Structure 1
Amino acid sequence: MPICVFDIFPDGTAKVPDDAALTGPGTYRWWHYDLSDPDLADWATNRLPAIPAGALLQPETRPRCDLYEEGLILNLRGINLNAGQHADQMVSVRMWVEGNVIITVRLRRVFALDEIRQIVIAQAAPLTTAAFIEALVGRLTARVQDEVMRISKLTEFYEADLENDTTPLPKDLPATRRSVIKLRRYLEPQKNALVTLSTIDLPIVTETDALKLRELANRTTIAVEELDALQERLIAVQDDHDLDVARRQARNGYALSIVAAIFLPLGFLTGLFGVNIGGMPGIENAWGFAILCISMVGLAGLMYLVLKAFRWL
């Protein structure tokens, strides 16, 4: 069974039909299905052409906009707002639009479609199939812009932290970079699909509708361009942190090298004088140990002066 089905009339009112026909008496009939519905495959195969039916039933999709005879195959992606799931795991909407029928299929809950369903129930439905598409694309695009803005603010926070050299690498920076990559993966083809949609030659898409769709395509293009910029900025933040770590390691390694250079001859002397064989000088001298210690301090001072002279310190 569909999640919902409505007949939409010219004044925006809606009624649940009492028949199972593909189309109804209104301006258009909207069918909304879940992809996991066991009856969907038979229903789509028996009522739709093979290619649109197959497009609706695909388990994995990417954004697309293609004409098929007098109808439109449209796949879109939206921000995932489902509880316990990541926003960048974008939800998909599969659509078939033809004259006086709209069929939408989703795998995971799409809040934009839920909002449209509520306004249909409130008797304020989109008046035409083109208006329905505009309402859906507008809601999906608004959520994309909100998510991109959230990442942009997070990136500004990362960049501000760079002013403090003691600030460690943000733990969520790698996750943010992956999120940008995942979002861009779908939004780039979605931008192309919306540009195609705004220029498509179909009776259902009037010039006014095309202008509105072009504006939505432009907003998606801006979001993609912002993601490109964010990707570069996040790489720069990562590189700056990596460079700071490398500088610290170099300083620490340099300090250890200086300490080793000073203590290497001292270690040689202590090893030499620690040999337990006859003939070692100073064994019978009560001041032997003190003289050795003073000599080692003097040698350490001499090594320091040598390193200073060679400007290694």
Structure 2
Amino acid sequence: MPNFNVIILNNIKDGLTPEEVEQRLITLLKVKAPQVKTIMARQRTLVKKGVDQVTAGKYQAAIERCGIACELELIEPPVTDTPASTSSSKPSPKPSLKTSTPEPASINAYTGHWYNKYSDQGAINVWFILAITILPMAVLIGLVSAIAMPAYQDYKHRSEAATVLIQLKEHDSKTALQSPVTKKYIDSKDSRARIKVPLSWKVGAAENEEASINVGNLELETYAILIEDDISLHDYNHTLKSYSEAIIVEYQKVLEEAVVIDTKPLESNGVKGLGYDLSAKMQGFELNYIIAFYAFPGRIYQIHSWTIKANYEQNEAAMRDLVGSLEVAY
């Protein structure tokens, strides 16, 4: 199976400011602002190395939703050289037992050797040979250094950035394993209501201005919002069932192929409610929703939790716990 590197490109989408993208990357990558500024200052930054195609695609989608371009780089498998076939060498002939008489060295050969050894001409030849041998080597070393050093520095920077991200994620994982607490309460804006969410979820991830609570986990692409409807502000002649059905109809108008999969009664801390499971599409993404409605004196609370279809199975239990955790002070 091919592996990929996930690379952030210094290309911010139109309509977004660098500050907005920076804040989103801080939330997604779980790093500090100086590290994100360093990433955004470079043309290319490796943030995830050697992951499979599905994981790489999830990282790419999450990063691009932050408003900055991201590309996947295929890691080519190493090419293995085919060992060359070794031909059998012929056996060396047996040494001859005869000894040949060496020929006497000629006077010219002897005098030439003496001349090269002791004359100035011999010294000049030696230095000339050294010069023509060493100078090209020095030039070659300089060229290799000029090419290799910048490449090494770039690799070093990318490696350091990747190492920081890995260490931060390992730290978060170890902290989560060591802590006996796995969930936390998030209060509404007026502190009247609260819901319980996993520790890894962050406030503001769902980015819904109308919600009294908006939370989520960008890495898992799972979100939830709490909406408080003060029914005393408008004419209200609905039962909880008719009210919830009207909201579901609005879902079906806004989303593509919105289908109610299941409807069931709910209960949260002794308060009766209604729950709906939906599947739908939005901008080409397949989504799953779990929606709950609870009626309190003068108010109706809506809890909407959703995720992409590919992550629904692993996040369903957390989503159901969340919509069933509402506590209201009244």
TM-score band by shorter chain is under 0.3
TM-score (norm 2): 0.22
TM normalised by structure 1 equals: 0.23
Structure (1/2) with the larger helix percentage? 1
